Amino acid sequence: MKPHLTPRQAEIVRLVSLGCTNDEAADILKISPSTVDNHKTRAMEAFGTNKAILMTRLALKYRITSQNDKLTTREKRLSGRKGDGWN
C-alpha cells in the first residue's frame, strides 16, 4: 500500500533519493536542516522504515521518484552540488 505523504515530505523524499544531505535539501527548500530531518523522519515512518536507503527503494517502487529524476539546474545551484543524482 502506497504511504500517505504530505507534499513537503514527498519533496524531501525526492531530494534524499537523489543523494541530497539535510543541509543541501534545506538550502534548496529554504527551510532549516532540522525541519528537513523532521519531515524525513515522518516520511520514513510512513514507509515503515528507519533507513533512508530503504525509503528510497520504496519511493521508487511507489513512483514517488524515478531513476530518471535529476536535480534541476536551480536545485543544483541552490545546493551547491555539481552532480545530478543517480550518478
* CATH code linked to domain 7-79: 1.10.10.10
Listed by start position, the domains of the chain span: 7-79
What's the half-sphere exposure (Cβ side, CA atoms, 13 Å) at 48? 4
pLDDT in tens, 13-39: 999 999 999 999 999 999 999 999 999
Q: At residue 48, does pLDDT exceed 50? A: yes
Task: State the residue for C-alpha cell 533519493.
Answer: 17
8 A C-beta contact, residue 67 and residue 86: yes
| Selected residue with higher pLDDT from 83 and 43 | 43
DSSP class of residue 41 equals H
